[in-house]
Chain A
Amino acid sequence: MKFNKLTTSVASLSLAVAIVVPAFTASVANAAVSNAATATSAKAMGGLKGLEVACKKEGQLNIIADPHDWANYGEIISGFKAKYKVKIDEANPNGSSQDEINAANQLRGTKRAPDVFDIGQAVAYANLNMFAAYKVLAWDSIPAALKQASGYLTKDYGGFMSIGYDASLGTITSLDDLLKPAFAGKVALNGDPTTAQAGMNGVIMASIVNGGSLGDISKGVEWFKKLKDVGNFINVDPTPATIASGQTPVVFDWDYLQSAQAAKLATKGITWKIFIPSGAVVGAFYNQAVNINAPHPACARLWMENMFSPVGQNAFLKGGARPVLADAMAKAGTINKALFAALPVVKGTPQIASVEQTKAANDYLKANWAAAVGTR
């Protein structure tokens, strides 16, 4: 079949238009999305208002491993939903830091991938290439030690490692009390130390009590091996269900989580006490980060802004955690003074592991933990 010149030119022109126009409009639309995906601060998105508009268009935020009773995340989540009218998909509430990275890898490119992470230091610094650089509006008020220079990670709240226990088991005055027969099959650690920051810091605390240090976690692993050998340590993840049922009546976990449990159990008539060994005040902060491949980049960044606003920081405070912006907010008068005063007083100098120390501890644990506590 032969076409004359006019037909050919009309056909090729319409074909060209048909191809170029959708590509152009798609690239404009994508530009809006990629705009958010590469924004390193709210200014690039037109300030907080611009972020809000972009987030509403996206309509959803995917978070992971944020239990409602963890540092009052429940209030932060519902507050965000109510204020910005977007859906929040919550995945794997009891997951560890490593679980968050795993999910991001497995779901990469899909719409179900997590948008933001709340992640422990060891896992965070081992996976820096998974995060997008983003500096929140309050960036300058955050102490230099609590943020990663390029904006990949920003610490938002912290607390101290403690031992929470059912008071009906007696009173614990020293770490070695846990080796007594009264605690047979009752002691649990929140998370496998090789994947969870809480677990790792529990072992660090045990190490310091037994003569180790932030740089030497071996004494802690030895102590837990002892605990396992006498039959007191159980390889079970403490969850709200196991604590409520009484399966894990002694838990190594953050002090803010223990106080949340204490409040919940008090309504059931159970007294939950908290013990921090003297001379071993081990603290750590959690890091907020934006997924570099976030399916909802604008909402991810809006969530970050929310975390570091007085609303978010005071919510953490209500949950018993220590917000990183405490000093700046006190100066600006935006901190909730009553809640701040209600934080338990900590005796002794807090010890916080550095990035190198957590990496060394992680390596040691990966090589020795499983054999020590019989998960091998």
Chain B
Amino acid sequence: MKMKDRSLLVNVWRRIVLAVVSLYLLLPLIAMLDFSTKVGRHMRGLYAWRAIVHQPDLISAILTSLELAIIVVGLVLFVVVPTVVWVHLRLPRLRRPLELICLLPLAIPGIVLVVGVADIYRWISIHITESPLTLAAVYAMLVLPYTYRSLSAALNAVDVHTLAEASRTLGASTYRMLFGVVVPTIRSGVMSGAVISIALVLGEFTISSLLNYKTMQVQIVLLGQSDASIAVAVSLASLIFVFLLLVIIPTTTSRAIEVLDTDE
């Protein structure tokens, strides 16, 4: 077969595959838009979208989820990132155990983690606080694999040891060295970890529903039992929101791929 013919065939085949898969991925999104704008059996309208603001339970659940996302990002930034960097710099013997621990959540399905964590949360509910914001702790565990991968990829790409030594030589305190020098250098890894955390927290259903906390996804399911159009409208809105988030942070996309590679 001539080169020209072969590459033409390949091109045609590639276009077909692209078209089929894109259709497959876009179709449900279009269907969601269609479903949420149906009013009655034959009319179109934005009733479902406007009704979102009139659901007080839904609004408070959305706020809860957003607050949880912020707290989890906080935990990632102020506990996970410093720890990973610290281990990378000063405690090389702990690198392997840390990696194993951070990958553990991938081996423990969410539904199984709930079984183990249910008693702890019951204790927390009774003795500390009833607030659903305590979920942030277990959510931080769920995002560990993804944030660890982002961070370690970024740390490997930059020679952090030299940077750390240089800053110490110039008289920076440990705190300054960590947050003023190293973290800004691995900014892209931190950002992608943070964005993935937000997406995960907003989409989390398993743990919050089984622990009886009212987060956004739990409320959407409940809403779906009484009015499916509003539920679909909210689902679509949050999908678009997270998509925009992932698009606006351009470094995320390439990191997202590396995140899922567990071959270090």
Contacts and interface: CB of A to CB of B under 8 A. Distances in A.
Interface of A: 92-94, 103, 106-112, 237, 239-241, 245, 268
A109 B212 contact: no
B125 to A, nearest CB: 4
B130 A92 contact: no
Contact of B130 (A108, A110, A237, A268): A110
A240 B225 contact: yes
B92 interface: no
Nearest to B226: A240
A98 to B, nearest CB: 15
B224 interface: yes
Given A92-B222, A268-B40, 6 more contacts: A94-B226, A109-B122, A111-B130, A112-B125, A112-B212, A237-B225
Given A109-B122, A110-B122, A112-B212, A239 B226 contact: yes
A106 B213 CA distance: 11
Given A93-B226, A103-B212, A239-B225, A109 B40 contact: no
Interface of B: 40, 118, 122, 125-126, 130, 211-212, 222, 224-228
Question: Most chain-B CB neighbours within 10 Å: which of A92, A103, A111, A245?
Answer: A245
Contacts of A107: 125, 212
Given A107-B125, A109-B126, A241 B212 contact: no
A249 to B, nearest CB: 13
Given A111-B130, A112-B130, A241 B125 contact: no
Contact of B122 (A106, A239, A245): A106
Contacts of A240: 225-227
Contacts of A108: 122
B130 A94 contact: no
A267 B39 CA distance: 14
B226 A110 contact: no
A241 B227 contact: yes
Contacts of B130: 110-112
A106 B212 contact: yes
Contacts of A241: 224-228
A261 to B, nearest CB: 13
Nearest to B210: A106
A12 to B, nearest CB: 30
A240 B126 CA distance: 35
Question: Most chain-A CB neighbours within 10 Å: which of B211, B212, B224?
Answer: B212
Question: Most chain-A CB neighbours within 10 Å: which of B118, B122, B226, B227?
Answer: B226
